[in-house]
Amino acid sequence: MPKLIIDNIPVEVPEGTNVLEAARSIGIVIPHFCWHPALGRAGACRACAVKMLDGPVKGLQMSCMLPAQDGMVVSTTDAEAMAMRRSVIEWLMINHPHDCPVCDEGGECQLQDFTIAGGHGIRRYDGRKRTYNNQYLGEFIAHEMNRCIQCYRCVRFYQEYAGGTDFGVMGRAAMVYFGRQSDGPLESPFSGNLVDICPTGVFTDKTARFRARYWDYDMAPSICPHCSLGCNITPVARYRELLKVVARRNDRVNGWFICDRGRFPKANVNALDRPRQPLVDGKATSWDEALDALRERLNGFLELNGTQSLAIIGSPRMSMEGNTMAARLHKLLDTGKICYFSDSVHAGQTLEAVASLTPDNAASQEDVRQADLVAIVGSDLLAEAPMMALAVRQAWRNGAPVYVVGEETSTLFEYVAVASLSDIPLAEAKHPVLICGTNHVGSDIIDTAARNKAKLSFILDGPNAFGCALLSQEYGATPLSEAVASGKIKGLISFESDLTLELPAGIRVLAAADCRKTPLLSRAEIVLPSSAWVEMDGTFINNEGRAQRFKQVMEPGLPIKGLDPAGHPPRLHRNTPPGGEVLPTWRIIAKITERLGSEWIEDPLSDQWERLRELDAEGEGISVV
Amino acid sequence: MPLISDIKAIIAGFGVTLHHMLRRPVTIQYPEEKRVPYPRFRARIVLTRDPDGGERCVACYLCSAACPVDCISMQAAERDDGRRYAAWFRINFSRCIFCGLCAEACPTLAIQMTPDYEICKRDIMDLVYEKEDLLIDGCGKDNSYNFYHHAGIGVTQPRGAGLEERLPVDVRSLLP
Ligand code: SF4
Ligand code: SF4
Ligand code: SF4
Ligand code: SF4
């Protein structure tokens, strides 16, 4: 562990840390563009100059290129170093357009920040600026090449980190160009990260083009709900509209990046025709009336058919809060069934997968990135959990062999296709990881992993499938298909459920709560509109059993855009925004249980889940395996 | 001698009082009589146009960020030709303190203070001005500046044809 002194502050850092990172660790930020924690150094921008006063090297040095060594004495405020940084930034700005006011990066731009930090303020060069033509890069990313400062982060990410082949750098000298051979959508499923990684506004999110500024954003730490990996994100909203999603760093999970599936789809939250008002038999009504109607119908139903004929349906896409509350409703009513999964085979496999994980053998995405052998069994990672494919690629880039049993179409890494698990030399590796799709979970895989001390990662179905599996065990849940096949079920109440099976016509859907317009909702007698995940606090448990908290990002309600025909926001005052009457599903269930005579529940996480109450949304999450 | 200096001070003080008593009054009989303020006077805010007649405001949100009382709000949008503009722009004059920070922050010279100080209203909602109330047909205090001619990203002219720019690079050429 090298010990060095930076600006008179002694610091000790792990072997291999560079001086720039060492300074960062004590809160000294040296301006930099090309260096990025996930991409490493390139020495391309020359902005991070420091003066080495004493030690193995002396004089002006690039702090990102210099590994910290014992005895170094570094000054970041030395006049020579500051003059160098100021000049470098002045050079970088020579060709930079004068367009911050119309650039979406403005306010969250590293170039703005470091230009100020570097001390360059007034343009002295009066020559003409170099310009480029832009390219059409698809519906998601806007391109403005004039803003480029040639830091090479984009190509290093796109080609090296993410394995993309259709984007690169061309041209020469002061005329290098970052783009595609010709116009066309970027092919990589991780292309959205260009927006985050480019320190200037060359790549901006087209889906949020010209909408808001950083200082006006509504944002909060959140978790991606689009697959079971639980990547950390920061959704950004303004005027009750979800504008964009950016990656949030979590070194154990997604690192610095997210996939495009997690980044770009926003329609579920912003849809104008989302359920926004309680409905009874298709007619809009108030919460009180809807809940009263539900109580009456429920009592009538239970009297007629008995409690055993009612099923409560939870869902792998619902938060832990909602799912535990569904179980409490089931207990309160003593209903026949509680169901979290539709299909019985699938449910069995998910439960088996979850049961086989322990704190020692559950592999996080970081474990996969650090693995020295990766085996993939029956999972098309790019389709089911894109960031896992990216993690496998990092292991492969570090030299780990990748073996695939069954179908894998990814071009992110080279792999050896094998016929069966036994053909993989798991025993030769020190940190092997086995990745397995839910459909292929079986005792053979679990045993093989245990024998070879391999870590396991299962790709589950839904952001909270893990939590649902644990609750299934706790409450003895039945898959819905089984419950229906038993013939006893005559009615159900569903919460955020995406049923995959055709529900027999004889079964009444007494009530359904959801934030999306699902087919089930059109069948429900009572529709209870619920909050989308960005409109509430909650918890998801990801595929490795890591419970992670997401915080409320925005107030629910119809987006201001389009509300008033005159174009501007309404000139009437009101207390609640129109369409803002939705409630988090767990609260809806708490209201139902209150109507049914039990006490009001203030905190949905009870019993063994109480330990999740204090979960820190900015932390790494806690393991519940 | 303290006594003499005390007497001097008292006489000087009353002298000033007497001087003011004999001066002509400065009261202006508003509204019968109106003062004409200097052009730099800070009162009712307007949104101006560039010399080519286009809306200057690019909805960059800098004025609303600078405003200490948060009385400016807007929504940026994009026109078909790529020009950024304010879909709506609202200033709540019942809250504005006419500090002029918005005009100082504006990078396009769009938002400007005018000397029109007579904007009292009986209904407070009438003091909430929308874009159509703010936008004027002239350039205001600067009749030459057009932000897009300097911005360096085309929009009002072909790429590379703005002031201070070279024509776009041909990335496939090997010539210097
Ligand atoms: S496009 Fe952005 S990331 Fe790529 S080299 Fe230019 S400034 Fe750097
Ligand atoms: S891999 Fe899954 S959790 Fe991660 S960003 Fe993509 S969709 Fe979201
Ligand atoms: S003059 Fe001052 S208070 Fe009024 S809108 Fe401008 S910044 Fe706000
Ligand atoms: S600062 Fe100027 S250009 Fe920017 S939004 Fe305000 S008026 Fe428009």
- One domain for residues A513 and A606: yes
Tokens of A388: 């896992």
Strand partners, A435: A376, A457
Q: What DSSP assignment string belongs to A72-131?
A: -EEESS-HHHHHHHHHHHHHHHTT--S-GGG-TTTTS-HHHHHHHHHT--S----SPEEE
- The answer to whether B165 contacts A102, with C-beta atoms less than 8 Å apart, is no
Question: Does A27 reside within a domain?
Answer: yes
Count CB neighbours of A94 within 10 A.
14
- Closest ligand relative to A203 C-alpha: 1
Q: List the domain boundaries for chain B.
A: 36-143
Q: What angle do CA A29, A34, A38 make, to 5 degrees?
A: 85
- The answer to whether B169 contacts A132, with C-beta atoms less than 8 Å apart, is yes
Q: Are A318 and A464 in contact (CB under 8 A)?
A: yes
Question: Does A303 reside within a domain?
Answer: yes
Contacts of B152 in chain A (CB under 8 A): 96-99, 129, 131, 146
Number of domains in chain A: 4
Which of these, A280, A625, A235, lies nearest to A469 by C-alpha position?
Answer: A625
- One domain for residues A32 and A176: no
A225 CA to centre of ligand 2 in angstroms: 7
Domain that holds residue A62: 3-93
- Distance, CA of A77 to chain centre: 38
Task: Report the residue from A99, A209, A212 with minimal CB separation from B153.
Answer: A99
- One domain for residues A560 and A438: no
Rounded-to-integer distance, Cα A309 and Cα B83, Å? 61
Q: What is the rounded radius of gyration, in angstroms, for the C-alpha atoms of chain B?
A: 26
The confidence score (pLDDT) of residue A329 equals 94
If contacts are CB pairs under 8 Å, which of residues 238-257 in chain A contact chain B? Answer: 239
**A146 touching B (Cβ < 8 Å):** yes
The confidence score (pLDDT) of residue A263 equals 97
Residue ID of nearest Cα to ligand 1 atom 4: A154
Question: Does A515 reside within a domain?
Answer: yes
Fill in the amino acid letter for A37. P
3-state secondary structure (DSSP) of residue A411: coil
Q: Is A134 in the pocket of ligand 1 (CB under 6 A)?
A: no
Give the chain B residue nearest A202 (alpha carbons): B153
Average pLDDT over residues A544-560: 95
Please tell me what DSSP assigns to residue A50: E
Domain CATH number, residue A413: 3.40.1010
Q: Which of B91, B97, B113 to mutate to test the pocket of ligand 3 (most atoms within 8 A of CB)?
A: B97
* pLDDT tens digits for range A264-298: 999 999 999 999 999 999 999 999 999 999 999 99
Helix A465-475 to helix A320-333 angle, to the nearest 10 degrees? 20
- The answer to whether A210 contacts B60, with C-beta atoms less than 8 Å apart, is no
Shortest distance, CA A380 to any CA of chain B (angstroms):
38
Q: Which residues contact A615 (CB under 8 A, 6 or more apart)?
A: A539, A547, A548, A549, A621, A622
Average pLDDT over residues A384-400: 95
Alpha helices in A385-528 (DSSP H): 386-397, 443-451, 465-475, 480-485, 519-523
Question: Does A507 reside within a domain?
Answer: yes
- One domain for residues A520 and A591: yes
Rounded-to-integer distance, Cα A169 and Cα A158, Å? 11
Report the predicted TM-score, pTM, of the whole model to 2 decimal places.
0.93
Last residue of a domain, one of A406, A432, A453: A453
The confidence score (pLDDT) of residue A335 equals 84
Rounded-to-integer distance, Cα A19 and Cα A6, Å? 9
- The answer to whether A132 contacts B171, with C-beta atoms less than 8 Å apart, is yes
Helix, strand, coil share of chain B (percent; to 5): 25, 20, 55
* pLDDT tens digits for range A568-589: 898 888 888 899 999 999 999 9
Task: Report the residue from A210, A560, A571 with minimal CB separation from B125.
Answer: A571
- One domain for residues A237 and A208: yes
3-state secondary structure A511-539: EEEECCCCHHHHHCCEEEEECCHHHCCEE
pLDDT above 90 coverage of chain B, percent: 88
- One domain for residues A136 and A251: yes
Give the chain B residue nearest A99 (alpha carbons): B151
Q: Which residues contact A505 (CB under 8 A, 6 or more apart)?
A: none
Q: Which residues contact A51 (CB under 8 A, 6 or more apart)?
A: A59, A60, A61, A74, A75, A76, A78, A80, A81
Q: Are B168 and A132 in contact (CB under 8 A)?
A: yes
Buried b (16+ CB within 10 A) or exposed e, B146-159: bbbbebbbbbbeeb
Rounded-to-integer distance, Cα A204 and Cα A185, Å? 14
Q: For chain A, what is the mean pLDDT?
A: 93
- Closest ligand relative to A102 C-alpha: 4
The confidence score (pLDDT) of residue A19 equals 95
Average pLDDT over residues A315-333: 95
Band the pLDDT of B85: cuts 50, 70, 90.
very high
Task: Report the residue from B87, B107, B168 with minimal CB separation from A131.
Answer: B168
Last residue of a domain, one of A427, A453, A479: A453
A547 CA to centre of ligand 2 in angstroms: 15
Q: Are B42 and B91 in contact (CB under 8 A)?
A: no
Question: Does A308 reside within a domain?
Answer: yes
Q: Is B96 in the pocket of ligand 3 (CB under 6 A)?
A: yes
Give the chain A residue nearest B61 (alpha carbons): A213
Q: What is the rounded radius of gyration, in angstroms, for the C-alpha atoms of chain A?
A: 27
In a mutational test of the A interface, the residue from B102, B153, B172 whose CB has the highest number of chain A CBs within 10 Å is B153
Rounded-to-integer distance, Cα A350 and Cα A439, Å? 9
**A215 touching B (Cβ < 8 Å):** yes
Ligand 1 atom nearest to A197, measured from its CA: 3
Contacts of B167 in chain A (CB under 8 A): 131
Rounded-to-integer distance, Cα A583 and Cα A588, Å? 6
- One domain for residues A560 and A493: yes
Q: Are B140 and A105 in contact (CB under 8 A)?
A: no
**Between residues A190 and A406, which one has the greater pLDDT?**
A190
- One domain for residues A140 and A175: yes
Task: Report the residue from B76, B107, B153 with minimal CB separation from A210.
Answer: B76
Ligand 1 atom nearest to A155, measured from its CA: 4
Q: Are A392 and A413 in contact (CB under 8 A)?
A: yes
If contacts are CB pairs under 8 Å, which of residues 124-143 in chain B contact chain A? Answer: 125, 128, 130-131
Helix A443-451 to helix A344-356 angle, to the nearest 10 degrees? 10
Average pLDDT over residues A520-526: 93
The confidence score (pLDDT) of residue B90 equals 96
Fill in the amino acid letter for A215. W
Residue ID of nearest Cα to ligand 4 atom 6: B63
Rounded-to-integer distance, Cα B124 and Cα A121, Å? 42
Q: CA of A401: how far to CAs of A392, A421, A552, B175, in Å?
A: 10, 14, 41, 44
- One domain for residues A175 and A244: yes
Q: Is A9 left (phi over 0), alpha (psi -120 to 50) or beta?
A: beta
Q: Are A459 and A436 in contact (CB under 8 A)?
A: yes
The confidence score (pLDDT) of residue A575 equals 86
B127 CA to centre of ligand 4 in angstroms: 20
**B86 touching A (Cβ < 8 Å):** no
Tokens of A508: 């009444």
- One domain for residues A497 and A612: yes
Average pLDDT over residues A402-414: 84
**Between residues A501 and A603, which one has the greater pLDDT?**
A603
- Closest ligand relative to B48 C-alpha: 4
> What number of C-beta contacts closer than 8 Å exist between A and B?
103
- One domain for residues A283 and A216: no
**A102 touching B (Cβ < 8 Å):** yes
Count CB neighbours of A156 within 10 A.
20
- The answer to whether A210 contacts B84, with C-beta atoms less than 8 Å apart, is yes
- One domain for residues A262 and A142: yes
pLDDT above 70 coverage of chain A, percent: 100
Q: Are B86 and B131 in contact (CB under 8 A)?
A: yes
- Closest ligand relative to A32 C-alpha: 1
Which of these, A399, A351, A347, A353, lies nearest to A373 by C-alpha position?
Answer: A399
Residue A505 has pLDDT above 90, yes or no: no
Sign of the dihedral defined by the CA atoms of residues A13, A18, A20, A24, in that order: negative
Contacts of B64 in chain A (CB under 8 A): 216
- The answer to whether B88 contacts A567, with C-beta atoms less than 8 Å apart, is yes
pLDDT above 70 coverage of chain B, percent: 99
Average pLDDT over residues B61-80: 96
Q: Is B117 in the pocket of ligand 3 (CB under 6 A)?
A: no
Q: Which CATH number fits domain B36-143: 3.40.50.300, 3.30.70.3270, 3.30.930.10, 1.10.940.10?
A: 3.30.70.3270
Domain CATH number, residue A31: 3.10.20.740
Ligand 2 proximal residues by C-beta, below 6 Å: A 224, 226-227, 229-231, 254, 258-259, 261-262, 385-387
Ligand 4 atom nearest to B62, measured from its CA: 1
Q: Which residues contact A600 (CB under 8 A, 6 or more apart)?
A: A590, A594
Task: Report the residue from A144, A216, A560 with minimal CB separation from B61.
Answer: A216
Sign of the dihedral defined by the CA atoms of residues A456, A458, A464, A465, in that order: negative
Give the chain B residue nearest A146 (alpha carbons): B153
If contacts are CB pairs under 8 Å, which of residues 91-120 in chain B contact chain A? Answer: 107-108
* pLDDT tens digits for range A187-211: 999 999 999 999 999 999 999 999 9
Predicted ipTM of the assembly: 0.89
Lowest mean pLDDT among A77-81, A572-576, B17-21, B156-160: A572-576
Task: Report the residue from B62, B125, B160 with minimal CB separation from A101.
Answer: B62
Residue A408 has pLDDT above 70, yes or no: no
Band the pLDDT of A442: cuts 50, 70, 90.
confident
Average pLDDT over residues A467-473: 96
* pLDDT tens digits for range A150-178: 999 999 999 999 999 999 999 888 889 99
